[in-house]
Amino acid sequence: MTIPHDGHHAHLPEAPRVDAARYRLDRMLVGDVTDIADVERRCFTNPWPASAYRRELQHGDQNYYVILRDITTSAPNTDSSQAQSPSIGRRGLLPIGLPRRPRAIAKDPVVGFAGMWNAFDEAHLTTIGIDIPYRGRGLGEALLVAVFDEAVRRGVNWVTLEVRVSNEPAQALYRKWGFSVQGVRKRYYSDNGEDAFIMWSRAVSDVDYYAELVGHRAALLDRLNGAVLGLDEIGPEPGLVPPAGKPPWE
pLDDT digits (tens, 9 = 90+) for 74-105: 654 544 444 333 333 333 444 444 455 545 45
Number of separate helices (H) and strands (E) present in the chain = 5, 10
> 53 near 28, Cβ under 8 Å?
yes
Could you give the percent of the chain with pLDDT greater than 70? 76
Give the range of the structural domain holding residue 203, as residue numbers without chain letter.
23-78+104-229
Report which of residues 204 and 73 the model is more confident about: 204
pLDDT at 141 over 70: yes
In one letter, which amino acid is 56? Answer: E
SS3 (DSSP) at 81: coil
For the segment 35-60, the average pLDDT, to the nearest whole number, is 91
Is 185 contained in some domain? yes
pLDDT of residue 74: 61
Query: How open is the CA angle 151-175-130, to the nearest 5 degrees?
Result: 65
In a domain, residue 95? The reply is no
Residue 244 has pLDDT above 80, yes or no: no
In a domain, 45, yes or no: yes
Angle of CA points 40, 42, 46, to nearest 5°: 60
pLDDT in tens, 145-184: 999 999 999 989 999 999 999 999 999 999 999 999 999 9
Domain assignment of residue 111, yes or no: yes
* Count of structural domains within the chain: 1
- Residue 7 located in a structural domain: no
We report the CATH number of the domain holding residue 128 as 3.40.630.30
